[in-house]
Amino acid sequence: MSHPAPARGESPLGGRRAILIIFLISGLLFFAGSTIPPLVINLMRPLPVGQSQSFATNPGPTLGLDPTAWRDQTIPAENADRPECQGESILEVPYSCLVIEGTSFYRQVTTTSETDKRSEVNVDSALTMFMFDAPVAEIQDHVRINRSTAYPVPEPVSSMRLVIPDADSGFDGSAFTRQGLQYFFPFPAERKSYDFFDRLTQETEPIDYVGEYEHNGLKAYEFTHTVEPRRLTPGMSQTFIPGSKTGSTSVDLTGLAEWFYTPEQLQRFGHSPTDLVSVTSYFTITRTFWVQPDTGTVIDYSERPHIFFAEDDAQARIFGTEPATAYTLYYSELQWDEATTSAQTALAEQGLQRLTLLQGFAYLAKAVAFVLAAWGVALVLLRRRAKETP
């Protein structure tokens, strides 16, 4: 059976059905390019359940109270030859006789697990601090956060447990409500300040956007803050571990002024050497995060914590920026090690690759849709011309 030839000037591909199919495919591609990538990206935003991440810092230069000397009530070998440290008891020598220099670092494992709500995730962190080659503190932290915002849920479901082995002290906190970011940044990160939760003060402080830089080969937003000196006691009023020898997580001392101050400081603060003074422990810290903004992945981190003695808030503001053997309990400069930054950078790169593929798909789908639409329009015009041609 023979088929009728197309009318003069009419292309076999220019039939009405073919043109409709072209416009339909064009519309479907444009719709796919406009909706599928944003949908997949929205599915990528929530924090994943069941992930485990390890973090560690390089050994950083450290000034601090020798925990072994404190435990054994002895003078550290590093200070044993100092004339002012020749006493029968650590209570008879200046506090500086118990302070030594060395290194410290920490190791941390953070895991996520499901909750009874799909929009939330449990975050559990186990951190061990090493000081002068020995573990000196263990922190077990639990918080439930919103998977999309990375902020804690507004419910009393957070808890924290601190153990200080050599001092046989610490606390086991009851459930409380927490505010502020801590372990993760939102996806994506924005150029703004975020509320940040400090585990030692148990207070929330803003952490500020500083600028955009290249870090570890990736675009990164830098966020930093300095927590002004805070007494450790108020934020640590929790239930202490059974068997603890101390009733407070702060360290408070009373003694002769000459135990805590240099001759210059005695004059500066108006004390005579035999004045009886009471000092309490304060805490300050400067933190800096480098965050890959498109994925919200933290690719590097540094901190400078300082725990020290001071008589009052005014004195604390002076001592907080000046670590010294006369009053420092712990000071260090810590930054993630290469293994940690490499793992976090690789994690950010994986996320960026997915985003690049999705963006490429969106551009390609829309480009093909545009070409098909243009082709369809051309066919319509050709069809009209063919009809108008006698």
Q: Are 74 and 88 in contact (CB under 8 A)?
A: no
Q: Hey, what amino acid is at 350?
A: Q
Structure tokens that stand for 224 in this block: 């930093």
Q: Strand 218-231 relative to strand 253-256: parallel, antiparallel, unpaired?
A: unpaired
This prediction has a pTM of 0.82
Question: What is the separation of C-alpha 60 from the centre of its chain, rounded to a whole number of angstroms?
Answer: 19
Segment (H or E) for 378: helix 338-388
Classify residue 211 by burial, with Cβ atoms within 10 Å: 0-12, 13-18, 19+. Answer: exposed
For 112, list phi and psi in degrees, rounded to 5: -120, 145
- Residue 275, classed as helix, strand or coil, is coil
Neighbouring C-alpha atoms within 13 Å toward the C-beta of 178: 28
Question: What is the separation of C-alpha 195 from the centre of its chain, rounded to a whole number of angstroms?
Answer: 12
d(CA 245, CA 226): 32
- Could you list the pLDDT tens digit for every one of the 390 residues in the chain? 455 555 444 455 457 788 788 878 877 877 777 777 677 777 667 888 999 999 999 999 999 988 888 778 888 889 888 888 887 777 778 888 989 999 999 999 999 999 999 999 999 999 999 998 888 888 899 999 999 999 999 999 998 888 777 555 566 667 888 999 999 999 999 999 999 999 888 889 999 999 999 999 999 999 999 999 998 754 343 322 233 334 444 567 788 888 888 888 888 888 988 888 888 889 999 999 999 999 999 999 999 999 999 999 999 999 998 898 888 999 999 999 999 999 999 999 999 888 788 778 777 877 877 887 788 788 777 777 777 666
The closest alpha carbon to 348, from 185, 181, 127, 182, belongs to 185
**How many separate helices (H) and strands (E) can be counted in the chain?**
7, 15
DSSP letter, residue 92: G
